[in-house]
Amino acid sequence: MELRVLGGAREVGRSAILVDDSLLLDFGLLTAEPPQYPVATPTPDAVVVSHGHLDHVGAIPSLLSGSNRPSIHWTPPTRELALTLARDTLKLHGHSPHCPFTENDVKRVTEVSETHGYRESFAAAGYEVTFYNAGHIPGSAHVLVDDGETRLLYTGDFHVDETAAADPPAGFDAGEPPIGQRLVAGSTARPDADVVLCESTYSDVDHEPRAAVEHRFAQSVKTTLWEGGTVVVPAFAIGRTQELLLICEQHDIPCYVDGMGKRVTEMLRQYPEYVRDADALRRAKSHARFVTGRDGQRKRIADQPAAIVTTSGMLSGGPAMTYIPEIRANPVNKVTLTGYQVEGTPGRELLETGRAEIDGRVMPVSAGVEGYDFSAHADHDGLRRVLDAYDDAEILVNHGDRCGAFAAELREDGYDASAPELGATYSV
Ligand SMILES: [Zn+2]
């Protein structure tokens, strides 16, 4: 089996791995100005997609812009998310020369799409392929590729639940939920494999126990609401928005939801078997008030003692751009960032300097600014626990800022591990 990493090698974003020139795993987009694509656009016989985040599916429609018509394989939620993101990309960049696909290409995606559930093996480009729950977002999958001789496990992005041994914070019992994400159960499947291509986003981080993060977040938001303040909760549309709505319902925090996360929440309700607790998601959805944005509604909401869960997660667009200027001057108010803030984004700037550039204007923010790690990726301990099952396999480390260092750590512990270079070909 020959692997060529066209994106996501020693970086995060634009994930793309070509197997034997015929099977493509993911084809993502790196969000930047202008957006970056994988280093080559192949003409595969089939495409298999791990999950519906932009950095794994964002460039898929461009594979159909010529005469090539590869079949595209994914879980039902991944298909829906990929199409939602593609239409959003057209809306944002459709007129720009940097947009690599057209409305027609997106339509063709629906024509070649084939959906599969977890643990239902299927044939793609002559390989036997099987999805396993990766615990990252609804529909996310570990992808097992078997050519009859070599079994490749492409982990995609994944999350694992904490072990019961994690120190519970005050007010929580050991083993009591949450021991992971509320939205999706963590990855547990460890299918046999000869080669593991493993993500490593948080290979140098140990996450604070989930219960503690949730507890601090809920206390902080409630305190602000008691004081009559408003809390803006920037969150990614896919996964994070629903996680925050589940947390708000659980902790009885009155909340609004705005931005693309509304549509994604509605959509995920149709796939109950891909979430941890479909009933909880139903309750969370009816607990949250959906913002229409009509007749100055956002300005009125920004005066209310409530949490507003809204895109974008790093303050680079979306209705958050309306809410932040409205609430920024009052120190009773708060902005609670809910995920990693990439260098150069307004969210990162706000966290570090207390100022944010909104619509080209730099604004000081007197409202409180806090950051919470509601990560959907395994941390160092989680990565090592998964790789424990693969100490005989060849490990290739990708999707991280320090792939080389993590591969070196694994080698020191007896693994056959390395970090592929962007664009290079490897025989496994
Ligand atoms: Zn992801």
Predicted local confidence at residue 175, as pLDDT: 53
> Are residue 135 and residue 179 in the same domain, yes or no?
yes
Q: Residue 202 and residue 375: Cα distance in Å, rounded?
A: 9
Q: Residue 50 and residue 81: Cα distance in Å, rounded?
A: 12
Spacing, Cα 313 to ligand 1 middle (Å): 14
Spacing, Cα 155 to ligand 1 middle (Å): 11
Residue 427 parent element (H or E): strand 425-427
Spacing, Cα 291 to ligand 1 middle (Å): 26
Spacing, Cα 223 to ligand 1 middle (Å): 32
CA angle, 230 then 233 then 239, to 5°: 150
> Are residue 358 and residue 414 in the same domain, yes or no?
no
Spacing, Cα 53 to ligand 1 middle (Å): 5
Predicted local confidence at residue 174, as pLDDT: 55
> Are residue 152 and residue 276 in the same domain, yes or no?
no
Spacing, Cα 305 to ligand 1 middle (Å): 32
Cβ pair 142, 131 in contact under 8 A? yes
> Are residue 195 and residue 262 in the same domain, yes or no?
no
DSSP letter for each residue of 190-210: ----SEEEEE-TBTT--PPPH
Residue ranges of the alpha helices (H) in 138-290?
A: 210-226, 240-250, 261-268, 278-287
Spacing, Cα 163 to ligand 1 middle (Å): 22
The pLDDT tens digits of the residues spanning 73-126 come to 999 999 999 999 999 999 988 888 878 899 999 999 999 999 999 999 999 999
Residue 103 parent element (H or E): helix 103-112
The pLDDT profile of the chain, 428 residues, written as one tens digit per residue, is: 999 999 999 999 899 999 999 999 999 998 877 788 999 999 999 999 999 999 999 999 999 999 999 999 999 999 999 999 999 999 988 888 878 899 999 999 999 999 999 999 999 999 999 999 999 999 999 999 999 999 999 999 999 998 754 555 555 555 566 689 999 999 999 999 999 999 999 999 999 999 899 999 999 999 999 999 999 999 999 999 999 999 999 999 999 999 999 999 999 999 999 999 999 999 999 999 999 988 899 999 999 999 999 999 999 999 999 999 999 999 999 999 999 898 888 999 999 999 989 888 999 999 999 999 999 999 999 999 999 999 999 999 999 999 999 999 999 999 999 999 999 999 99
Q: Residue 8 and residue 123: Cα distance in Å, rounded?
A: 25
pTM (predicted TM-score):
0.95
> Are residue 345 and residue 384 in the same domain, yes or no?
no
Query: Is the omega angle on the peptide bond into residue 331 within 30 degrees of 0, that is, cis?
Result: no
The number of distinct structural domains making up the chain is 2
Q: What percent of the chain has pLDDT over 70?
A: 96
Cβ pair 28, 8 in contact under 8 A? yes
> Are residue 401 and residue 256 in the same domain, yes or no?
no
The closest alpha carbon to 181, from 226, 129, 242, 237, belongs to 242
> Are residue 183 and residue 149 in the same domain, yes or no?
yes
> Are residue 249 and residue 128 in the same domain, yes or no?
no
Spacing, Cα 152 to ligand 1 middle (Å): 20
Q: Starting from the edge strand earliest in sequence, which strands make up the sheet with 416-418, in order?
A: 122-124, 127-133, 141-146, 151-154, 195-199, 394-398, 416-418
The closest alpha carbon to 24, from 43, 8, 51, belongs to 43
> Which DSSP state fits 422?
T
The closest alpha carbon to 381, from 242, 185, 179, 243, belongs to 179
Task: Name residues whose C-beta falls within 8 Å of residue 119's C-beta, 6 or more positions apart in sequence.
Answer: 130, 131, 132, 189
Residues in the chain: 428
- Domain span at residue 342 reads 210-371
CATH number at residue 121: 3.60.15.10
> Are residue 276 and residue 384 in the same domain, yes or no?
no
CA angle, 389 then 390 then 395, to 5°: 145
CATH number at residue 285: 3.40.50.10890
Predicted local confidence at residue 164, as pLDDT: 59
> Are residue 194 and residue 132 in the same domain, yes or no?
yes
> Are residue 266 and residue 282 in the same domain, yes or no?
yes
Read off φ and ψ for residue 197, nearest 5 degrees.
Answer: -95, 110
The closest alpha carbon to 308, from 281, 288, 328, 326, belongs to 288
Residue 285 structure tokens: 């959805």
Ion ligand 1: residues, CB within 5 A, are 53, 157
Cβ pair 4, 423 in contact under 8 A? yes
Spacing, Cα 11 to ligand 1 middle (Å): 13
Read off φ and ψ for residue 221, nearest 5 degrees.
Answer: -65, -45
The closest alpha carbon to 21, from 73, 70, 58, 74, belongs to 70
Read off φ and ψ for residue 258, nearest 5 degrees.
Answer: -140, 160
Spacing, Cα 73 to ligand 1 middle (Å): 17
> Are residue 6 and residue 98 in the same domain, yes or no?
yes
